[in-house]
Each structure stands twice: as C-alpha cells, then as structure tokens.
Structure 1
Amino acid sequence: MTKDLERDLGLSAVIAISMGAMIGSGIFILPGVAMAEAGPAVILAFVIAAILVVPAALSIAELGTAMPEAGGDYVFIERGLGPSFGTIAGLGTWLMLMLKGSLALYGGMFYINFVYQLPTWEFAVPGVGMALTIPGVRALGITFALVLIAVNLFGVKQTGGLQLVMVVVMLAILSAFVAGSIVQVEGANFDGFFAEGIDGILSATALVLVSYAGVTKVAAVAEEIENPGRNLPLGLLLSLIATAFLYALLVFVLVGVVDGPELSGTEEPMAEATALLFGDLTIWGGLPLGTLAVVAIVLAALLALVSTANAGILTASRYPLALSRDNLFLEKFEYIHPRFSTPFVAILTTGAIIIFIVATQEVDEIAKMAGAFQILVYILVCGALIAFRERDLEWYDPDFRTPGYPWVQLFGILSGVFIITQMDAQEIFGSIAIVIFGFVWFRWYAKSKIEREGAAKGLARREAGKQFVRDTEDQLERDDRFEVLIPIRRDVTREQEDALIQMAAPIIHRRGGRIRVVRFDEVPDQVPLETAAEALSEADIEFEQRTDDLVRYLEVPVEVGEIVSHDTRHAVVNFAERSGADLILARQEATSRLGTLFGRDTDWIIDHAPCDVVFVQHAQRTSVDEIAVVTDRSPFNDPLKVELADAMADVLDARVRFLFAVDESAPDALLETIETYHDELDALCTVPVESTVVRSNNAVEGLSGALESSDIVMLSTMTHRRLPDLVFEQRSDRLAAAIEQPVLLVHSKKTRRGSFLRPILERVLFD
C-alpha cells in the first residue's frame, strides 16, 4: 500500500508562508546596521537585494512545477547538478537557516532590552511605578531558543488561526507606525544620499540579503501545494514584490524621521524611531503614549522575530534529515522519535548550533554570513535549472517556464558571485570553506553509498507508488454509482473501523458503488511529508491486512489507501472533492463544550465538504433490530436520515422508527401535523416503519427514554457556532451524550448554515 501526500496549500498559503518567513529581521533589526554601511542609500540596498533574488525565485518556481517534491532547493540542486553539489546546497541551506533563526532570536532580544531600559513607568495613580530588570540580551536569546527547541522536539503544531492573528496584529501595528510617522519625514535626512558610494551600497546589499531568504522557503513544501503550476510562481512573485515594497516604505520612513547618527548601527531601529516620535506624548491620566507605542512596536517585533526563529528551527532541521535520507550525511540524523514523530537528532543539533551562534556572534556578522550562504545556494539553483533545460530530459515538463532563459539564470549566477566578492573576508572564506567541505565530505563519506547522477537517473521513482487518488481515478471511470468515503485516523481501533465499514456496506448494497477506506496520517510540521510517506510502520501493515480480511466477507467493493498530511481535516475534504465522494462516514469522539470554543475539526469538515457528512459516536451493537430517526422537519437532513436508515434496515432486516418531541401542552393540530409528516416519510421507505410523538417538557430527557429500545439512533447536526453553542449546547449533542446507543449525526450538504441565533432559538423552541 502506498501513501499519498496531500496537496492542501493554496495561493494564499504560499504567499503567507513566503511572506511570513521574510518579514522579520529585514525591518526590525537590519535597517540601522545597514545604514552604518550605506547611509540613507540603505533604501536602495533593500531594492537591489530583492532584484538579486528574482532569478532564483523564478528558477525555484519552474523547478517546483516540474518536480513538485518535498525538499525544495536542495532536491532541485541534488537532482540537477548531482549529489556532490546537492551536499553543498544542503549544508549551505542548513547553515543559512540556522543563521537566520539566530539573527531573529538575538536581534529580537534587543527590543525587550529597549523596553526595560525605558524610564520608570508612571501611571495615573501618583507614586505608582514599575522598575524591571532582565538578564543579558544573549541570555534571553538562548532562553527563547531552548523554548522553541522544545516546541519542535515535541511536535507542537502551530495552528493556522494563531498564525493569522499574529500576522494581522503585526501588520496592523506597522501600518499604524507608517501612518503616524510618514508625515514627519524630513528631506534633510536624505542629504548626502550617496555619501558612502557604491561600495557602501553593495556592502549593505550583502547585509540585507538575508531579509529575503524566506521567498523560496515554500519550495521545501512544493509537493504539498495545490495546483503548483499556478500557485507556486504566482505566490513567490507576489510575496517578493509585496515584501520588497513594505521594506522600502518602512526604511524610507525610518531614514526620514530619525537622524542618521541616531539610526546608524542600532539593533532596534523601529523602537528607536517610535520613542523619538512619540516619546513625549501623554494621554488621559498622564499615561505615556510614547511608552505604549514602543511596547506595541516591540510586540510586533517579537511576533515577527520569534515566529521567524521558530520557522528557522523547523525548516533547518529538515535539511540534515533530507541529506541523511539520501545517504549524504550521518545516518543518525534520519532518526524519527517513535512517540513525537519528530526528527529528534536533527532538531537537537540544529538547536545547539543556533544557541552557539547566539552566544558568540554579533548581529552584523550573523546577517552577512547568512547572506553569503543564501547567495551560494541561489547560484546553485540557477545552475541546476540550466542543467535540467540543457539535458533535454523527456520527463522534464514544468507547468511554468522562466521567462528570459538563460539570461535570467546567468544574471543570477554572475550577480551572486559579484556580491560575494564584495563581502568581508570572513564571508568570502566561509563560502569557500563550505564548498570545499561539501566536496570533501561527499568524496570521503557519501560517494561510495550512492549510485545516481544529477538530472539523469532515479527520477522515475518520483511518481511510483504515489497519489492513491489519481491511480484509482485512472483505473475506474466515474459514473452514477454511490461512493462512501471512510476516513480513518491513526488512533481508530480495529473494532471502530470495522463498525464504520459495516455501516457503509448496506448503503452500497442498496445504491451500488464502492467504499473507500483511507487512513489519514497527520504528522508534525517538523517532518517532511515525503519522509513520513516512505516510513512503513507495523501499524501501516496491520491496517492493510485487517481491511483486506474484512473485505473478503463483505459483498461490496472496498478500496484502501493512505494519505499523509500536516492537516487531516483539509486532507479529508480535498480527497472527498477530488474523488467525487457522495458521503463521508467518519467516527467522532464526544467532545467537551469547551472544545467548541477552540473550534472542532468536524465543524470545519461539515462547512467545507462537497458532499453529505455523517459522524458516528459510541460503539456499534452486534445486532440491529430497530433504527430510530429523530426527525426535526428539516427539509434536507430528514430525507437524508430516512434514506440512510431505510437502506441499513433493508439489508439488516430491521425496522425504522420516527420520533418527534413536542411539549406536553402542544395542541392537537401540531400532533396531526407531525403524524402527517411521518406518513410522508413512511412513503419513502421500503421497510416497516413506526411513528412516535414524545410528549415532554424536556425534549432530551423524553427522547432518551423513548430511545431505550433502539439499536441505532440518527440525529441531525449543524456547524457549531463557538460562543453561542458554548452557552446553548446543540440538542443533538445533549441527546447523543444522554444515550448509549450508536449515534449517527447526519448533515446534508444542502443544509444552510444557521446564524449565531440558531442555538438560542433551538433551545427556546424545541425544549
């Protein structure tokens, strides 16, 4: 059985990943340090650096659409120029990402230090102040590094909602800063714009290059991008343009509002500018507006820099793992922790090197060395694209082709070499050293372990055993047959899986079609999907064997597959949409009301699924004599519940019972309406049907008592509205919790999503 890698990253995700990796040190740390090199012309340095990145970004986009494999630039260089250059690229990218993470950690601590060095805060209450002390900047950076290392070791998953909040808050604060300060830009601050000459501009360009290192980070997850032919190149270019514009605007404002001597050389330029512009302002009660403004800027800086540092540890640790898997590095780096599913050795080593850098290097040294390694990798990327194009390989057919080939790539190579020669001796020797070490290491350690060449062999395996969806769709023509998708999580037991398949089997017996049983493995962001897909565990073998055993005695077609993703709920919905599923039948554990506040995966699936959805709670009973359908006069859910109940009852030789709860004081006219409604539903069924109207002032209590004789219960469900459902719990949730029978929570794709008033009205009208 093969494992499919889920493509669930759209254009917005590509832009977010790329921009999120770029916005950080480029604005919060480097403008002051770079101004010491170039003076006011530091603005040009940021623009030139962005232009130098374009050839590599375009090359990455083309290579990513031709080979949408996890691994990104390392994979492209290793496949194009051969494993020796791949070793250099892998080591160089590893070092660059560690340096970038170190720069974010170390530089971010200067902002904390700046806040704590402000004068004692005096608030509205006279005589009340707050004096704070902190350890050294390096000690703070090391402390934060230890926390982030632990986060990555244990595979703590970053949630998209939290990341979105962080980005929105950061951009809002930066926008407020620009709006409040751009009117105070003074032309006199731009006098002597070219005073430092072209050498100063080039030196500053080399320094700020690391600001754009994130533009190609998304290539490392190229295999996870949906429609890469469009989303990868468009996302890379849009993120690069937007970030370059943001950098140029913010640096223009910084230079225009802060005198050169005050800005030059400072590691916290945004905080310095904010304190200078707003430091003397106060608001109601004597609260210092300047202090609050500085705190807001520091918050934005920490959000950006700590996020960058965490991403640096996460992505950097993938490179020794990838090198090890390709037999180019020590085997111990391939170790995946059995409990946390994270590359423990790779993360620990990466974290240790980052701590060493933070403890020993200065900000400008870290930035320049990171820029040198970045340019080296970009040179190799451009060279790899030329290698693929000139070899005229039959399989090389990218969806996007770089305009201006080969001149764009030649410009990237020559400009990269030129910029490296303009750096200090330390960066030049560092670049030469990594090249020499890479070649020596490859010949001494790796050459005897591999048998492949660049852009020539071994690439056919790229498609072998992948994309369960595409394989089955090629073999089986889509028609009107009914298809049930059963997504299985790793923690689902054999008995639970069997119960789901046995529930789906009667539906397929009635409608014809097939069941797809797909196990969705969710791995931490720290682990590349390709790595997880290649690892065949005992659980994988057991899953395949037990489904095969179950299929042998079922008289319906059952197909089995497995998908690896970083987000199971997206993977389930994407699979259902691609495969044309008519029904998703999944297990759902009873969740607490507090879980509603943080958002349930089941709600997200209901909202985004292209088909009907049924969630099953509680254990399956061995025999089924009665299937109960709790009706609610829903024009969409009730017919679906009746259809499913009738199909199951027909095959299982059971009866169906409709139940509806009314208040004890309900008028006879309402009872007649309900009975008429049940008669209409009865006409749709092929099995014996009973009708029960439950009179009770407590609907849940009355229904739970009436359902004691039933073996399966079907209820309607709707999307939970976080806060309203936290206060007024859905009746279906309360009823499911009150009974012991297996419960099928049914949601038709035609059902409209209720407003935020829905749980309140449900509680008032039906209880």
Structure 2
Amino acid sequence: MDEAKSLERTLGPVAVALLTLSVLSPAASVFVTGADVVHQAGTGAALAFVVGGLLTLIFTFAQAELGSSFPFAGGDYATVGQVLGAQWGVVQFALDLLSTPVFIALTASGIALYLGGVVPGLPPIPTAIAALVLATAGAVINIRTGAVVTGIFLAIELGALALVTVLGFAEPARGLEVIVALPIRFADGVALPLTLGVAAGAVSAASWAVSGAGQAIYFGEELRDPARVGRLVVRITLLSLVAMILPMLALIVGGRDLPATLAAESPFAALIAQHASPALATAIGLGIAAAIFNAVMAAVICYGRWLWSSGRDAIWAAPVNRALVRLHPRFGSPWVASVLVGATAMAFTLLGLRALVLLAAANGIVNWALLNWAGLVGRRRGLTGQAGTYRAPLFPLTNVVSLIAATGLAVLTWQDADGRRGEVMLAVIMVAALLYHRFVLLRRAGGWQMVGPKTAG
C-alpha cells in the first residue's frame, strides 16, 4: 500500500530556501495582499507592515523550534499535534484546510492586476483559474527541478521589488514622517483617521503576508539534515521582512497624488506608472505577474506535501487517505494531493480578493496563538529544544509576548465588522474540528493517532 512510501531526502538548505521564498512570495505579499492593506489602512499600511513584520518574527521563533524538533511534511498541524495532543493537531489541520486554498487563491488573484497593463480588461477570476491550472501541472514535476524553476522566477521577483523600491525613493513626494505622524486612509477622496479596529485588521493582514517562512517545514521530509530547518525558517523570515517593508515605504513616500495612488485598484501599478516609462512599466508588470505565478506553483508544490501528510495520518475516510498518499511513479511527487490543492484553490478564487484577505488575517492570529502555546508546552515537557535542534531565543519571553499580541489583535479585530465575521467563522471551524476528532476519529477501531514519518523517531 502507498502509505509505506516516503518522500526522498534530495534537497539541501539552499533548495528549500528557494522553494520557501517562492511560496511566501515577497512580491505577491506586497503587490497583492499589500495592495489590500493599503486600501484598508491608507498611509498606515507601511507602518502595519513594520509592526506586523516584527510580530511575525517574534511569532516565528516558536514555529522554528517546533519544526526543528518535528520536521514533518504536515507542517504546523503535525508539530502542534505532537506537542499539544492529536485533538489540537486536528484543529490546526482544519485551520490549515481553510488557509491553504485561501492563500493560493489570494496569490493567483493578483496576476490579472499586473497583466492589465499588457492585456487591458483581463478578467481576474478566469485569469487566476488559468494560472492555477498551469501551476498545478508544474507542481507534479520532480521537486529538484521545481526548485530550479522557482529559483529562476524568484530572481525576477526580487528584481521587481528592488525596482519598485528604487522608483519610490528616487523621487520622493514626502518624507517618512507621514507614515508615523498621523496615519490616514481615504474614502471617496476624503482623509479619515485610522481607527484601532481597522489598524488591527491591517496589522493582522500584514503579519500574515510577511509570515510563511515556516512553510520550509513542509519540505522537512525531503531535506537532508532536517533539524536545520528551524534556523532556515528564522533566516527566511528576516530576508522577507526587508524585501517587503522597503517597497511598502516606497509607495507611501513616492506616490505623487497620494489619494489617487492609494485608491487605485493596484496602488503599486499606479506608482510604477507615475515614475517609469511605459516600456519599463510594462516590463515591471510582466515581472510581477511572473513572480506571482511562481508563487502559485511553489505553493501547490508545498501544500501538496501537507495534504499528502494528512492522508498518511489517516485524517480522512480510508478511500480518500489511500488516494492522497499516492506518489507519482516517475517524479515521486504526491500528485493526487497536489491536484486537489490546486482544484480547491480554483474554487476559492470565486470569493474575491477582499474576502480572502479577511479570512487569511483572522486565521493567522489563531495559528500564531496555537504555535506559541505549543512552544511553551513543548519546551517545558522536553519535547523541543533538544541538543542539535533550534532553540527559540529569550524563552519563554517571546512566546508570552506572542500570546499577548495575538490576544490583543483578536480583541481589536473584533471591533471591526468584517474582522468579526472572520473570527466567528474560525471559531465555528475550531469547534467542528474538535467534534470531528471526538466523534469520528476516536471512534475508529483501535482509536486514532498521528503517524509522522518513520524516520522521525
């Protein structure tokens, strides 16, 4: 039976870093999610990315320690389940089940925004679905080949971010003080002060956009010396912070007509049009679209491993589990799981960009709370932080700060009507997951527990 098969350890740290950076995609985070944060928070968007980025770095320490001790393809749900118990692993899996297609659909939805300069009037949803079809086909290939392809696209992506940063700072229209002095947003051209609820939602969305380095853990079963994955997660987070915050600052500083720039469907495309020649603007737009496509393909590669792991852990009904653990006979990739991830993301593109960002932001708050709770429990029980694995600095301070920050963001987000709907939906999902564990999984003959890779002690 296919459960006996394992993923092959063929990746070094550079390949995993390239794949992970491609999945979290600084370009997609800035040009797609960042654009929505700009619409929410106006000039406060840059500050939201600074604050959200720093919070993400603090949050990530626990995730890195957990992943170093349990470098399983299941990622967060596997690490949480190993430390807090299977029921909380199922809760995290249910949250991932929502966030995974949301993340991929959100990323794919940005392609039409930046191809619009080349093909005006390009419909966003059909374009996103077409990109997902191509990306899913590419995700089935050998993972080492995938790492090379995504690495090439990643170079284009970082180049586009650098160009946008240079354009904004080369001819500044205002100083950096506008970002921190009195953040404002615009509604119908009228400047309004930023409320706490909106600011909290923007910080949550920005934090979620910057996060993603932990996706390196999904490749833990294909990484040689998997205990190194914790340090990789932290280094990728630091690199992402720099790559995302600088373009956000450049947008606010460099936008000539600030209300029009911030209100544009694509604020960054507006900034590029203001500062670059039509030919350069077209080239940058194509580079951004290519980068976003790369992120979509890398995400399907990554989350195909996650869904494959859920089949190995027998979370689903037996026929579904058997299908999910099938590996491609030639490429050794979890092809059924990858195709299902891509197909689900296609369905989620129908929700629209705004709904996807709100769901992602609320999910991020709960995810960080669970990971940092698991980090506290894991170290106290001696399950994490062992010799040879990554140890989170300043333990337990960073975990406590993370839990307080997540609680504060949840309370403030509740004050916003849209944020409240997202949190209610997540609460329902968590309760449903606990009930599924109690009344479905535990009632199976012999009970149920997470499996994990055979090589993982």
TM more than 0.5: yes
- Cα distance in 2 for partners of 1:94, 1:61 equals 21
**Structure-2 residue corresponding to 1:34:** 37
- Cα distance in 2 for partners of 1:426, 1:63 equals 30
Among residues 376, 390, 410, which one is paired with 2:366 in the alignment?
A: 376
Among residues 193, 203, 208, which one is paired with 1:205 in the alignment?
A: 203
The residue type paired with residue 285 of structure 2 is V
Is the aligned partner of 1:253 residue 2:250? yes
Residues 15 and 147 of structure 2 are in contact (CA less than 8 Å); yes or no, is this contact kept in structure 1?
A: no
Is the aligned partner of 1:44 residue 2:47? yes
- Cα distance in 2 for partners of 1:162, 1:400 equals 29
Shift in Å at residue 273 of structure 1? 0.8
Residues 101 and 341 of structure 2 are in contact (CA less than 8 Å); yes or no, is this contact kept in structure 1?
A: yes
- Cα distance in 2 for partners of 1:260, 1:444 equals 55
- Cα distance in 2 for partners of 1:302, 1:186 equals 27
Aligned CA distance change for structure 1 residues 308 and 365 (closer, same or farther; 3 Å): same
Shift in Å at residue 345 of structure 1? 4.3
Deviations 1:459-502 (A, max 9, x none): 896556xxxxxxxxxxxxxxxxxxxxxxxxxxxxxxxxxxxxxx
Q: Secondary structure at the match of 2:74?
A: coil
Deviations 1:371-422 (A, max 9, x none): 2223322222222222222224599555222122222112222322332333
**Structure-1 residue corresponding to 2:187:** none
Question: Which runs of structure 2 are paired with 1:601-620 in the superposition (5 Å)?
Answer: none
Shift in Å at residue 71 of structure 1? 2.7
Identify, as 1 or 2, the structure richer in strand. 1
- Cα distance in 2 for partners of 1:459, 1:357 equals 29
Higher-RCO chain (CA-CA 8 Å, sequence separation at least 6): 2
**Structure-2 residue corresponding to 1:80:** 83
Q: Secondary structure at the match of 1:104?
A: helix
Is the aligned partner of 1:162 residue 2:149? yes
Is the aligned partner of 1:15 residue 2:5? no
- Cα distance in 2 for partners of 1:372, 1:344 equals 30
Is the aligned partner of 1:425 residue 2:414? no
Aligned CA distance change for structure 1 residues 396 and 241 (closer, same or farther; 3 Å): closer
**Structure-1 residue corresponding to 2:119:** 116
Q: Secondary structure at the match of 2:315?
A: coil
**Structure-2 residue corresponding to 1:404:** 394
Is the aligned partner of 1:107 residue 2:110? yes
Residues 74 and 307 of structure 2 are in contact (CA less than 8 Å); yes or no, is this contact kept in structure 1?
A: no
Deviations 1:672-724 (A, max 9, x none): xxxxxxxxxxxxxxxxxxxxxxxxxxxxxxxxxxxxxxxxxxxxxxxxxxxxx
Residues 173 and 297 of structure 1 are in contact (CA less than 8 Å); yes or no, is this contact kept in structure 2?
A: yes
Aligned CA distance change for structure 1 residues 50 and 16 (closer, same or farther; 3 Å): same
Q: Secondary structure at the match of 2:55?
A: helix
Residues 140 and 335 of structure 2 are in contact (CA less than 8 Å); yes or no, is this contact kept in structure 1?
A: yes
The residue type paired with residue 203 of structure 2 is T
Aligned CA distance change for structure 1 residues 441 and 265 (closer, same or farther; 3 Å): farther
Residues 65 and 389 of structure 2 are in contact (CA less than 8 Å); yes or no, is this contact kept in structure 1?
A: yes
Residues 115 and 294 of structure 1 are in contact (CA less than 8 Å); yes or no, is this contact kept in structure 2?
A: no
Gaps spanning 5+ residues in structure 1: where? 118-133, 279-289, 465-767
Residues 75 and 306 of structure 2 are in contact (CA less than 8 Å); yes or no, is this contact kept in structure 1?
A: no
Aligned CA distance change for structure 1 residues 98 and 208 (closer, same or farther; 3 Å): same
- Cα distance in 2 for partners of 1:463, 1:142 equals 37
Residues 66 and 396 of structure 1 are in contact (CA less than 8 Å); yes or no, is this contact kept in structure 2?
A: yes
Is the aligned partner of 1:295 residue 2:282? yes
Deviations 1:307-364 (A, max 9, x none): 11122222223333322221222331441166465545433432332112112x2212
Aligned CA distance change for structure 1 residues 94 and 304 (closer, same or farther; 3 Å): farther
- Cα distance in 2 for partners of 1:208, 1:197 equals 16
The residue type paired with residue 244 of structure 2 is Y
Residues 172 and 254 of structure 2 are in contact (CA less than 8 Å); yes or no, is this contact kept in structure 1?
A: yes
Aligned CA distance change for structure 1 residues 324 and 3 (closer, same or farther; 3 Å): closer
Alignment RMSD, CA only? Answer: 3.0
- Percent identity over the alignment is 16
Among residues 47, 65, 69, which one is paired with 2:68 in the alignment?
A: 65
Residues 150 and 298 of structure 2 are in contact (CA less than 8 Å); yes or no, is this contact kept in structure 1?
A: no
**Structure-2 residue corresponding to 1:680:** none
- Cα distance in 1 for partners of 2:300, 2:110 equals 16
Shift in Å at residue 46 of structure 1? 0.6
Aligned CA distance change for structure 1 residues 40 and 60 (closer, same or farther; 3 Å): same
**Structure-1 residue corresponding to 2:380:** 390
Aligned CA distance change for structure 1 residues 387 and 35 (closer, same or farther; 3 Å): same
Identify, as 1 or 2, the structure richer in helix. 2
> Which has the greater radius of gyration?
1
Q: Secondary structure at the match of 2:12?
A: coil
Among residues 418, 435, 443, which one is paired with 1:440 in the alignment?
A: 435
- Cα distance in 2 for partners of 1:404, 1:437 equals 35
Aligned CA distance change for structure 1 residues 264 and 460 (closer, same or farther; 3 Å): closer
Residues 7 and 223 of structure 1 are in contact (CA less than 8 Å); yes or no, is this contact kept in structure 2?
A: no
Aligned CA distance change for structure 1 residues 8 and 112 (closer, same or farther; 3 Å): closer
Q: Secondary structure at the match of 2:110?
A: helix
Among residues 344, 349, 363, which one is paired with 1:353 in the alignment?
A: 344
Shift in Å at residue 179 of structure 1? 2.7
**Structure-1 residue corresponding to 2:162:** 175
Aligned CA distance change for structure 1 residues 31 and 67 (closer, same or farther; 3 Å): closer
Question: Which runs of structure 2 are paired with 1:561-572 in the superposition (5 Å)?
Answer: none
Question: Which runs of structure 2 are paired with 1:203-602 in the superposition (5 Å)?
Answer: 203-229=201-227, 231-258=228-255, 259-278=257-276, 290-331=277-318, 332-335=320-323, 336=326, 339=329, 341-359=332-350, 361-392=351-382, 397=387, 399-423=389-413, 424-449=419-444, 451=447, 462-463=455-456
Residues 61 and 236 of structure 1 are in contact (CA less than 8 Å); yes or no, is this contact kept in structure 2?
A: yes
- Cα distance in 2 for partners of 1:163, 1:325 equals 27
The residue type paired with residue 302 of structure 1 is A
- Cα distance in 2 for partners of 1:392, 1:240 equals 26
- Cα distance in 1 for partners of 2:146, 2:328 equals 23
Aligned CA distance change for structure 1 residues 310 and 333 (closer, same or farther; 3 Å): farther
- Cα distance in 2 for partners of 1:253, 1:395 equals 39
**Structure-2 residue corresponding to 1:149:** 136
Q: Secondary structure at the match of 2:212?
A: helix
**Structure-2 residue corresponding to 1:580:** none
